[in-house]
Structure 1
Amino acid sequence: MRRRQIVAALALCATACAAQQPPARPRHKISAGELYEALSSRFPVRRGLAGMLALEISATQLLLRPDRNQLGAALLAELRGVRQLQAGEMDLVFSLRYEPSDQTVRARNPEILDVRWPGAPPEVLRALQGMLPRVAQDLGEFVLHRFTPRELALPQTMGFEPQELTVVEDGLLVFFGPKRSP
């Protein structure tokens, strides 16, 4: 008898908790693989330095930063024209936004988090640190994902549009919400 009362109380509690939850919103997940493909298409980037040196930057790995709600890339940077200087690494992250005019998710506001360049002479490191923010800004804003009509069909029939972009451990979750009036 006591067990039935406990089970009934738990069921009642679960029902009450479920009633207090906001209704589920449609969402769409963009995979880490798709994000890496879009991001890596922006690389390699090549820049001249002081007329004698050349910097080549390539994306080696996708960085998903749920703690900052940003994504980016671990980059490999090679400096040509300096003998026996091994490649350096840096982490670059972007903020995200949805662009309703062309139904895309875009990367913007690049930020260099860390530069690791073992064995680089101080003068070369200073020159690079002065140049890297400009290289990051040159990447500009770019498309990471373009929604297909199929991906938007159900949310649009419900009167929803992409509203919230959340970086997770294995990709990007796009939550839909009520369309905003123009």
Structure 2
Amino acid sequence: MLHRRRFLTATTRSIALGGAALLVAHGAQAQPSYTVPLAQLQSMVDLKFPRSVPVQGLFNLTVQTPHLRLLPEVNRLGAAMALDVAGPALRRSYPGSLDVEFALRYEASDRTLRAHQIQLGRMEFPGLRPAVNELLNAYGPQLAEQSLREVTLHQLRPQDTAVFDGLGLQPGPITVTAKGLAVTFVSKAP
């Protein structure tokens, strides 16, 4: 009976230690990451707007501060923006709206996360005639690209990445999650 208890105790300990070793090994394979919350992204974007985009001398489009939203299901961010279009061809100012989605990329030269691969939704200007609305939508992709291209959404500070730098890691894939952006750190290329 005593041998059986010792055997069961030793077996239980072995199973517990083996399970802990598996958990540690599994954790060691996980890539370290840095999370940027949506509120922090929004505060950075707030500093960059409003922006004005001229359109071939016909009119000027003013883009107000985008309201960002996380789209984890497609690994992108969305932005809804109020617009204002005015110019000699229109005689007065017209309010409108624009919705876009975009991916993110890391720029190593200044440690920034930037908007790219911009996809335009439809621009709407309720006060304009349908033909003018269609004309503006024909310029839409170009206007969205000009107003949002390479907008900096976040800049990593040296202290944010110091530990990772010391381990030979650098920012890699950016994943949109329900909590914000998760920047995964990967091994630096030799």
- % of aligned pairs identical? 30
Partner of 1:180: 189
Q: CA deviation at 1:111?
A: 1.7
- State how 1:5-16 maps to structure 2 within 5 Å: 15=20
Q: Give the alignment partner of residue 150 of structure 1, picking from 148, 156, 159.
A: 159
What secondary structure does 2:110 align onto?
A: coil
Structure 2 Cα separation of the partners of residues 180 and 143 of structure 1: 25
Structure 1 Cα separation of the partners of residues 57 and 109 of structure 2: 41
Deviations 1:89-122 (A, max 9, x none): 2212222111223222221232213434445421
Deviations 1:13-49 (A, max 9, x none): 9658636635232211112122112223332233455
**Structure with higher helix content:** 2
Partner of 1:64: 70
* TM score, norm. by length of structure 2: 0.74
Structure 1 Cα separation of the partners of residues 84 and 62 of structure 2: 5
Larger Rg: 2
Assess if the C-alpha contact under 8 Å between 1:109 and 1:141 holds in 2.
no
Assess if the C-alpha contact under 8 Å between 2:76 and 2:176 holds in 1.
yes
Structure 2 Cα separation of the partners of residues 149 and 130 of structure 1: 42
116-125 vs 127-136, greater mean Cα deviation = 116-125
Q: Give the direction of change, closer, same or farther, for the CA distance of 1:131–1:42 in structure 2 (3 Å limit).
A: farther
Partner of 2:4: none
Partner of 1:161: 170
**Structure with higher strand content:** 1
What secondary structure does 1:28 align onto?
A: strand
Structure 1 Cα separation of the partners of residues 19 and 162 of structure 2: 33
- State how 1:14-93 maps to structure 2 within 5 Å: 15=20, 18=23, 21=26, 23=28, 24-48=30-54, 53-80=59-86, 81=90, 87-93=95-101
Runs of 5+ consecutive residues of structure 2 not aligned to the other structure = 1-7
* TM score, norm. by length of structure 1: 0.77
Deviations 1:137-175 (A, max 9, x none): 213223222211111111112221111101112321111
Q: Give the direction of change, closer, same or farther, for the CA distance of 1:84–1:19 in structure 2 (3 Å limit).
A: closer
Deviations 1:52-106 (A, max 9, x none): 6543221241121112211242111223446796x33221222211122322222
153-162 vs 107-116, greater mean Cα deviation = 107-116
